[in-house]
Amino acid sequence: MYHNLDLDHIDLTQEPPKEEPARQCYFMAKAKKQVSAMCEAAGRPMTFHVETFGCQMNARDSEKLTGILTAVGYVPSGTETADFVIYNTCTVRENANRKVYGRLGKLKRLKEENPYMRIALCGCMMQESHVVEKLRDSYGFVDLVFGTHNIYQFAQLFCQALESDAMVVEIWKDTDRIVEDLPAQRKYPFKSGVNIMFGCNNFCSYCIVPYVRGRERSRSPQAILEEIRKLVEDGVVEVMLLGQNVNSYGKTLDQPISFAKLLSQAAEIPGLERIRFMTSHPKDLSDELIQVMASSDKICRHLHLPVQSGSTRILDKMNRRYTKESYLDLAARIKKAIPDIALTTDIIVGFPGETEEDFQDTLDVVRKVRYSSAFTFQYSKRSGTPAAAMEEQISAEVVQDRFDRLLTLVQDIAREECAVWEGTTGKALVEQVNHQDESLLTGRLGNNLLVHFPGERSLIGKIVDVHLTECKGFYYMGEMIEWLYHQ
């Protein structure tokens, strides 16, 4: 997608441009020159490793970091012994923070042995002021710290870090800027995430994300659609549209547009075969979106619709702004319009004040909606959120008991829901060679289920017809019928 980016012909004797992304291209050219000098001095290539914690938004950000590092001359290492290590952090749970601190201790020893090593930290965890203070006080060997709002400045900050003996820290509290047209190195050449918006306005009482990602801001539909067209030209057949709450896309634009309308326009792009999206907030999912999903063959029959709790009382304490009844009505309307859809969800067990009756409401929703899978979590305090200060925190023993009962029910229903497709034929995007058996390929169906079947490596990235011969609980074994080659 960025094959024509020519850093060697940027004039570094001139002042850096003020406009973006030209400014970052200037610093990429400068970084490339510095990296080349390091390679020559070391007598070997400089290596890098990007470690991603957290959500799909972070994964997409890591692809951008990887693209820039590749463009300036680093080569991927795959391990933390690399010359440049970046932790792209998550802060949804506090144990994620502790994990990062623990990993930094190992990096300190590696850096002492490698004079070329640089360490950078970015992502949501860096948006917390106490984290940055701790890094300054106890982890002075870290070279670069930046946040979620200015990740596009990575090339510029990288140059500063190479030239400085002190930690470079650049954290913005918030921003209305969106700069996307920079290199990205995709994990898969045939599918890609596409950011359509950033931030969140919902302020669920248990969630830190709005405080670290900022308020909602949407990219223009023209920029999004043009990015998708370029991705298709570069061999992409499937895109996932990304946002903290895609259903509220477009509300902040000068000329508002609904997410459903954006989805319809994306579906019209020639060569694009599949569209996915996440995450959806139930309070904003419109009938228009349901109709668009039902009428398009390109939009995958999978919808992740976090419920979090089945109790209206707990949902109110969570500030979710819907009720048990309205959620069940929404799920019923979705299933009526799209009978073959796979619904998945997130559920939190043990939220402050949750009674056994509240928990039974959650089990009732699971039984009625019948999710194809669910991410289940035990509530844990997240400092900085209203829920952390709530009274009636639930004991660990009670939470564990409820979690175990929920997990049993979720898994039993999911097995039954997955098994209904046994004996049918579905289209699978071939993603990779199977990890356990190299004679098999692994593909993903439109409903997000995996299927393993015999096939040649040349089929990776192609969409093939697979007969689903045997359900193995949460995945299928299959046999390929025929495959469709996409130019």
Q: What is the Cα–Cα distance from 455 to 466, expressed in whole angstroms?
A: 11
17-43 average pLDDT score: 96
Smallest CA-to-CA distance from 486 within 270, 277, 188, 300 is with 270
Q: What is the Cα–Cα distance from 181 to 32, expressed in whole angstroms?
A: 19
The pLDDT value recorded for residue 176 is 73
pTM above 0.75, yes or no: yes
Quote the tokens at residue 360: 């039974």
Q: What is the Cα–Cα distance from 22 to 408, expressed in whole angstroms?
A: 54
Dihedral in degrees, nearest 10, Cα atoms 425, 430, 435, 440: 50
Burial class of residue 283 (count of CB atoms within 10 Å of its CB; 0-12, 13-18, 19+): middle
- Judge whether 197 and 216 are in contact, CB under 8 Å: yes
Quote the tokens at residue 407: 């997990």
**Residue in the structure block whose two tokens are 């996307």:** 180
Q: What is the Cα–Cα distance from 16 to 310, expressed in whole angstroms?
A: 54
The 3-state DSSP class for residue 93 equals: coil
- Judge whether 198 and 213 are in contact, CB under 8 Å: yes
Q: What is the Cα–Cα distance from 238 to 189, expressed in whole angstroms?
A: 10
Residues 305-331 have pLDDT tens digits of 999 999 999 999 999 999 999 999 999
Residues 405-426 have pLDDT tens digits of 999 999 999 999 999 999 999 9
The 3-state DSSP class for residue 450 equals: strand
Residues 375-392 have pLDDT tens digits of 999 998 888 899 999 999
Quote the tokens at residue 124: 């949501």
Residues 24-35 have pLDDT tens digits of 999 999 999 999
Residue 486: pLDDT band (50, 70, 90) is: very low
Long-range CB pairs of 166-170, under 8 A, 24+ apart, other chains included: 167/135, 167/136, 167/140, 167/142, 167/143, 168/143, 168/144, 169/132, 169/135, 169/136, 169/144, 169/145, 170/145, 170/146
Query: What is the longest distance spanned by two Cα atoms in the chain?
Result: 70
Strands 440-445 and 425-433: antiparallel
Q: What DSSP character marks residue 348?
A: E
The 3-state DSSP class for residue 370 equals: coil
Q: What is the Cα–Cα distance from 248 to 463, expressed in whole angstroms?
A: 31
The pLDDT value recorded for residue 334 is 98
Q: What is the Cα–Cα distance from 298 to 267, expressed in whole angstroms?
A: 6
